[in-house]
Amino acid sequence: MIAETPKPPYYAVIFTSTRTEVVENYKEMNEAIEEAVKDADGFLGVEACREEVGISVSYWKDLESIRKWKNNPLHSLAKEKGKSAWFATFKTRIAKVEMDYDFL
Amino acid sequence: MIAETPKPPYYAVIFTSTRTEVVENYKEMNEAIEEAVKDADGFLGVEACREEVGISVSYWKDLESIRKWKNNPLHSLAKEKGKSAWFATFKTRIAKVEMDYDFL
């Protein structure tokens, strides 16, 4: 669903990836991460889908919240496994949301 | 595929939507827009997927490029039809990409 974010400014972490054929533990880790991030300081919401490419956009109060989540042990483990097993290519972009519109 | 964007800063337009059941002309318009945007001034690339929610992240050189594309006649028509027929809900966020990483 579309994340209900507050009035800008806030931050977006745009994570784009393509998968390998390795499926072991991927779904389980995804679910664990989805649960854990809900309790992260400054987490505002997330939107995600996957076809040829997967996109996950998570929204955050500020850069400090993103830094703290970056160092979360479960998230660190997920990134390590992601690099070594699950993702063929990926890119992370950190962006400051300046404006948003329900209609543009 | 993952867009090959230049070194930050640049801009991202994050468009998130859920669909109605109306399919008439949707695919055709999507393809026409995908072709047209490639020629837009300042367009840097796009990533998109759709499951329960659809996410399209387009990347732009600056806010001026985004403003110009906003006023493109084909894009305006697509937005009008999107609001009235194809999308149940949607949100557009304009964000300045400050950092990016191939590995984080």
Query: Taking CB atoms and an 8 Å cutoff, what residues of chain B touch A90?
Result: 2, 102-103
CA-CA distances (angstroms) from residue B89 to A66, A82, A103, B33? 27, 32, 9, 20
Query: What is the distance in angstroms between the Cα of A82 and the nearest Cα belonging to chain B?
Result: 10
The domain A10-97 is placed in CATH, from the list 3.30.70.100, 3.30.1490.20, 1.20.1050.10, 3.20.20.70, at: 3.30.70.100
Residue with tokens 């949607």: B90
Domain residue ranges in chain B: 10-97
pLDDT tens for each residue of chain A, 104 residues long: 899 999 999 999 999 999 999 999 999 999 999 999 999 999 999 999 999 999 999 999 999 999 999 999 999 999 999 999 999 999 999 999 999 998 64
Residue with tokens 């020629």: B39
Whether B65 contacts B42, CB under 8 Å: yes
Task: Name the residue among A1, A90, A96 with its Cβ closest to that of B53.
Answer: A1
pLDDT < 50: residue spans in chain B: 104
What residues pair up with A19 in beta bridges, in sequence order? A87
Q: What is the pLDDT of residue B103?
A: 61
Task: Name the residue among B12, B14, B47 with its Cβ closest to that of A53.
Answer: B47
Token readout for B70 is: 């906003």
Q: What is the pLDDT of residue B89?
A: 94
Query: Taking CB atoms and an 8 Å cutoff, what residues of chain B touch A57?
Result: 14, 16, 55, 57
Q: What is the pLDDT of residue A102?
A: 83
Around Cβ A49, how many Cβ atoms within 10 Å?
A: 18
Whether A97 contacts A8, CB under 8 Å: yes
Is the pTM for the entire model greater than 0.80? yes
Around Cβ A10, how many Cβ atoms within 10 Å?
A: 21
Token readout for B28 is: 């055709």
Q: Across the A/B interface, how many CB contacts are shorter than 8 Å?
A: 116
Token readout for A32 is: 């664990």
Q: What is the pLDDT of residue B53?
A: 97
Q: What is the pLDDT of residue A103?
A: 61
Query: Taking CB atoms and an 8 Å cutoff, what residues of chain A touch B102?
Result: 90-91
